[in-house]
Structure 1
Amino acid sequence: MDELRRFRRALVAWAAGGAGAGAAAAVARELAGGGVRMIVLVEGSSDQAALEALATRNGRDLGAEGVAVVPLGGATNIGRFLDVCGPPGLGLPLAGLCDIGEERHFRRHLERVGLGSGLTQAGLETLGFHVCDADLEDELIRALGAEGVQEVIEAQGEVRPFRTFQGQPAQRERPVEHQLRRFMGTHSGRKALYAQAMVAHLDLERVPRPLERLLTHV
């Protein structure tokens, strides 16, 4: 296991608390001293996949640059991770990405650990935290367009499962963009797969603003 993966696992164990938190903290501190210069906190693995794929398309290797992209396992965990990564813990520079519906959690806990006060969305961006409307999948679907996303689905060999999904009673009358977004969440790992695939298919002049701004910041 490479050191960056070990670092991420140590952070997750530290943030979770419990009997192993002290040992995990020691591992995280040791590995952070080995070259981690920034931690990017994202809601889930699909956000990580998209950011790392975009970095690759821009000729960057975030891991080699000392940038650790850490999925929170849900936005409500942001407070725990800020405690271990931010001023109360490692004290490393931070950045992040969240959905608009979860912005309040990020804002409240950033203020709690002393990284701002009265934060607006512009204030969050100044700190390096960017907000997707409504989420990253929605941003990427709008950037690619429905036809472009269906080309990605075809490239993944999943046209038939998608057509079957579209034919379900609950989906038939919904806009295709909604169908595409819901389809990506129907199986474990599919959101991350499609986040990476959509970024690979994307015109670099049409990268969603939150994703582009985040990569520029780090």
Structure 2
Amino acid sequence: MDLRSGLTDAAGLSAATVVLVEGDSDRHAIEAVARRHGRSLHGVAVVPMGGVTNIRHFVELFHDRRLAGLYDAAEERFIRRALADGGLGPARSSAELAGLGFHACRADLEDELIRALGTDTVEEVMAAVGDLRSFRLFQRQPAQRDRPLARQLRRFIGTRAGRKSHYATLLADALDPARTPPPLDRLLALL
């Protein structure tokens, strides 16, 4: 999705609460976890921004709505700057950003889901959809051999177009609601 089409699509939304996320896989995961929790997202729009660097445009577009979001911890500076410039107040820490409704994932949401499920469960999900053989071949690649299993899983999930979104839903559906990753759990508590 390019920025212009993303903004055009988002401009027509009438939801009172807008959850800003980096991409479609994050939207799919949030929707699946909300469903697993029996939570309705009525009145909430989960909006993929096509990358965190686009956040300023979406904050400007939705300045009159209740905003929340998830972000990768390494991208925090973009979130801080955009929220401050958008008049939502300065946030000097992750805790202050959380107070504004924006919650950090360590690496990304897929990383959070993999840690919450455990690598054995993620491999079971892969086996159920017929991807375990491809993953085993991927693990043999020289660049992957010395990586920890969780990092291999995360990298594999991101290697093919559409796979991240597909696995975001699969992993979220496999997740016991009691083991929801903390940033996602805190976000859902706001909605």
The TM-score normalised by the length of structure 2 is 0.93
Give 2:48's match in structure 1, choosing from 59, 71, 75: 71
1:159 matches 2:132: yes
2: CA distance, partners of 1:51 / 1:14? 18
1: CA distance, partners of 2:88 / 2:11? 21
Give 1:179's match in structure 2, choosing from 144, 152, 158: 152
Other structure's SS at 1:172 match: coil
- Per the alignment, do residues 216 and 171 of structure 1 end up closer, same or farther by CA in structure 2, a change over 3 Å counting? same
Question: For residue 43 of structure 1, what is the amino acid of its counterpart?
Answer: E
Preserved contact between residue 19 and residue 44 of structure 2 (Cα < 8 Å): yes
1:208 matches 2:181: yes
| Structure 2: gaps of 5 or more residues | none
Q: Deviations over 1:99-150 (max 9, x none)?
A: 0011110011101111012432111111111000011111111111111110
- Per the alignment, do residues 53 and 12 of structure 1 end up closer, same or farther by CA in structure 2, a change over 3 Å counting? farther
Q: Deviations over 1:168-206 (max 9, x none)?
A: 111112111111010001101111111111111112221
Q: Which 4+ stretches in 1 moved above 6 angstroms?
A: none
Other structure's SS at 2:92 match: coil
| Structure 1: gaps of 5 or more residues | 1-8, 16-23
1:137 matches 2:110: yes
Structure possessing the higher radius of gyration over alpha carbons: 1
1: CA distance, partners of 2:46 / 2:105? 17
Aligned to 1:93: 66
> How far off is 1:61 after superposition?
3.0
Preserved contact between residue 22 and residue 51 of structure 2 (Cα < 8 Å): yes
Task: Give percent identity, aligned residues only.
Answer: 53
Give 1:170's match in structure 2, choosing from 138, 143, 146: 143
How many pairs does the alignment contain? 190
> How far off is 1:13 after superposition?
3.5
Preserved contact between residue 14 and residue 84 of structure 1 (Cα < 8 Å): no
Q: CA RMSD in A?
A: 1.9
Structure possessing the higher relative contact order (Cα contacts under 8 Å, 6 or more residues apart):
2
Other structure's SS at 1:98 match: strand
1:47 matches 2:14: no
Aligned to 2:60: 83
2: CA distance, partners of 1:212 / 1:186? 27
Preserved contact between residue 111 and residue 119 of structure 1 (Cα < 8 Å): no
Question: For residue 108 of structure 1, what is the amino acid of its counterpart?
Answer: R
Aligned to 2:78: 105
Question: For residue 42 of structure 1, what is the amino acid of its counterpart?
Answer: V
Aligned to 2:36: 57
- Per the alignment, do residues 12 and 68 of structure 1 end up closer, same or farther by CA in structure 2, a change over 3 Å counting? farther
Preserved contact between residue 54 and residue 199 of structure 1 (Cα < 8 Å): yes
> How far off is 1:60 after superposition?
2.3
